[in-house]
Amino acid sequence: MSYNSYKEVYERSITDPEGFWMDASQAIDWDTAPSKALFDKGDDLYEWFSDGMVNTCWNAVDRHVEAGRGDQIAIQHESPITHSTKGITYKELQDRVASLAGALRMRGVEKGDRVIIYMPMIPEALEAMLACARLGAIHSVVFGGFAANELAVRIDDCKPKAIIAASCGLEPNRVVHYKPLLDDAIEIAEHKPEFCVIFQREQEVAKLVEGRDFSWHGFQYGVKPAECVPVEGNHPVYILYTSGTTGQPKGVIRHTGGHLVALQWSMKNIYKIEAGDRFWAASDVGWVVGHSYICYGPLLAGGTTVVFEGKPIGTPHPGVFWRIIQNNRIKSFFTAPTALRAIKREDPEGQWIDRYAKHDLQAIFLAGERADPDTIEWAHKHFGVPVIDHWWQTETGWSIAANPIGIEELPTKVGSPAVPMPGYQVEILDEGGHKVEPNTLGAIAVKLPLPPGTLPNLWNAEDRFRKSYLSQFPGYYETGDAGMMDEDGYLYIMARTDDVINVAGHRLSTGGMEEVLSAHPDVAECAVIGVSDTLKGQMPLGFLCLNTGANRDHAEVVREVVKMVREKIGPVAAFKLAIVVDRLPKTRSGKILRGTMVNIADGTPWKMPATIDDPEILDEIKVALQTLGYAKSEAAA
């Protein structure tokens, strides 16, 4: 069915979800077509295309070779750190993935087995993901910046039969030693994988554990390539862990059928990408963007995807993004506002932008955190193409709200990620679960069922799934974000409703950081808040109350806790700021007033909490924050 407007598309997805998504499913190659789209499991649990049989790898790779696109570049690797650029065609990708899958199968990896992938931004990371999908094995990619302890938690939760890793990752001025982190994680974890496959990079050749570890190439020597294994539509293609408010990660699962249909739909209708087009999402395979729009989405569409190993600045200059856009003739570019802010800081006049051609660029998409108007306007001024903010989550896997330029380019409203996408019936609710008037702040919730491609549950944690997402507003998915919707249906995301902060697009739990700080022998009590940061969006800031009698140098204690967070959570936490205070502001019931502390730090208006135990503490907190350069403006108390 063809549509002329976003409104027609959206309305049909809400009034006739069965027909809408069955039509969308025609863009996927099914081994056995599903009998219907939506399966209501009862008690607010839903699945999509459950009884269809399908294979993700076939749809992302093999069908394009069959259609005569085997010589087209599927993956373009760009590594300014190693000064290398390399293209892999669809036919080469098919051969590589089938070979790796065959080797995994020979070692006993089957449909339903879990495989952890711990790799940097190299094509082999995508090959590992696709090889698992080819066999029906469930992969769980862990970002290479996470520490051994975090990796161990994930090993124990998903219990992988195998782990695929690289010997190292590369930063602009250092080598990140992956293998020692992996070895430590396996040592810490109760569950032990049967074997590991290590891709040895020339920058660092890791020591292999005899009997457990295999080198990437030796592992595949002489094996028979594997064919695609059809799986049920409700078979998980992957588990991706996201921060929970307690610091214990939640294993978001993605069902195969809905994942394929939603991503295929989004590539054409949101990003305006079809077979032969070139798409670049400047993210990492460890995050949901890397799953949806570095690996699977562009390949499902038959496009070319870029795997970028570098930084927006310093590898080697703030024009590296624009050079890659020029050289690869990128049509749609997806990045985080943090990256643009970093470039803008180094190149405010856009001189590096002017050095490169951008003839094929049709739009820049931003996601991962709220895009500030200054950054959007700067980018639009220098590129002259739509700069589109869109909003989604690890849990949803694709956009909740966006500007669907493949259907109709809607007017842009700065500060808004535009309008809900098909199947997302977004409503703004008050604390009692009642819809609020337009332009009124409330909790953002989505009426059930969620559309295909979103999380149907958590890995082995249905009770936690219900508690985290379904219990607050019965019949709705709670996004955990607060915001409002205007009279035109445009959504505005204002803040998190829990204590997960957003550092450079990475959702991180302040509760998890507090657990680490409280483990310091001299720390009696602590709190972590997210303070506004012009570059990263938010930065964590720790408050430490020391034990009585702990006559330590405060700067030394701060250095120690910063080191602890780096070791336990990893550098991705960007935890660098902490201050020692005598006491923390609390309610009479003992709850720490984190929200009030954030307002004081950011200089935004706040009211004296009615339930505060001792109002004078807030003055002490303000003075402490001022020593760090925060709480500069006079906020109305």
DSSP 170-237: EETTEEEEHHHHHHHHHHH-SS--SEEEEE-BTTBPPPPPTTTEEEHHHHHTTPPPPPP--EETTSEE
Q: Which bin fits 498, alpha (ψ -120 to 50), beta or left (φ > 0)?
A: beta
Where residue 140 sits, what CATH number does that domain have?
Answer: 3.40.50.12780
> How far apart (Å, rounded) are the C-alpha atoms in residues 393 and 478?
12
Where residue 619 sits, what CATH number does that domain have?
Answer: 3.30.300.30
Same domain, 528 and 406: no
**Predicted local confidence at residue 631, as pLDDT:** 82
Helix (H) or strand (E) run with residue 577 in it: strand 577-580
Can you give 141-161 as a three-state secondary structure string?
Answer: ECCCCCCHHHHHHHHHHHCCC
For residue 175, the enclosing domain spans 6-310+390-447
**Where does a domain end: 401, 418, 447?**
447
Residue type, position 198, single letter: I
Same domain, 39 and 180: yes
**Predicted local confidence at residue 591, as pLDDT:** 64
> How far apart (Å, rounded) are the C-alpha atoms in residues 343 and 326?
17
Residue keyed to tokens 């500007």: 403
**Predicted local confidence at residue 593, as pLDDT:** 84
**Cβ partners under 8 Å of residue 395, min gap 6:** 242, 252, 454, 455, 469
In a domain, 617, yes or no: yes
In a domain, 380, yes or no: no
**Where does a domain end: 414, 447, 480?**
447
Q: Shortest CA distance to 266 belongs to which of 46, 38, 421, 436?
A: 421
Contact 370, 493 (CB under 8 A): yes
Same domain, 416 and 539: no
Same domain, 180 and 293: yes
Same domain, 506 and 441: no
In a domain, 338, yes or no: no
**Predicted local confidence at residue 245, as pLDDT:** 40
Tens of pLDDT, residue by residue over 101-160, are: 999 999 999 999 999 999 999 999 999 999 999 999 999 999 886 789 889 999 999 999
In a domain, 182, yes or no: yes
Tokens of 80: 């300014």
Same domain, 426 and 529: no
Tokens of 292: 């949806």
**Cβ partners under 8 Å of residue 347, min gap 6:** 318, 319, 353
In a domain, 299, yes or no: yes
Low-confidence ranges of the chain (pLDDT < 50): 244-246, 589, 635-637
Same domain, 417 and 540: no
In a domain, 355, yes or no: no
Same domain, 417 and 564: no
Same domain, 154 and 69: yes
**Where does a domain end: 432, 447, 462?**
447
Tens of pLDDT, residue by residue over 282-317, are: 999 999 999 999 999 999 999 999 999 999 989 999
In sequence order, which ranges of 364-448 are alpha helices (DSSP H)?
A: 373-383
Domains in the chain, number: 2
Other C-beta atoms closer than 10 Å to the C-beta of 134 total: 28
Three-state SS for 445? strand
Same domain, 541 and 420: no
Q: Give the single-character DSSP code of 103.
A: H
> How far apart (Å, rounded) are the C-alpha atoms in residues 261 and 280?
20
**Predicted local confidence at residue 81, as pLDDT:** 95
Same domain, 545 and 417: no
**Predicted local confidence at residue 636, as pLDDT:** 41
Tokens of 48: 């999509």
> How far apart (Å, rounded) are the C-alpha atoms in residues 515 and 506?
19
Contact 211, 217 (CB under 8 A): no
Tens of pLDDT, residue by residue over 3-26, are: 679 999 999 999 999 999 999 999
Helix (H) or strand (E) run with residue 531 in it: strand 523-533
∠ CA 565-571-572, rounded to 5°: 110
In a domain, 85, yes or no: yes
Q: Shortest CA distance to 152 belongs to which of 537, 465, 567, 586?
A: 567
Q: Give the single-character DSSP code of 372.
A: P
The pTM of the full predicted model, rounded to 2 decimals, is 0.84
By the 10 Å C-beta count (0-12 exposed, 13-18 middle, 19+ buried), 475 is classed as exposed
Same domain, 134 and 245: yes
In a domain, 354, yes or no: no
Residue 207 phi, psi dihedral angles, 5° rounding: -80, 130
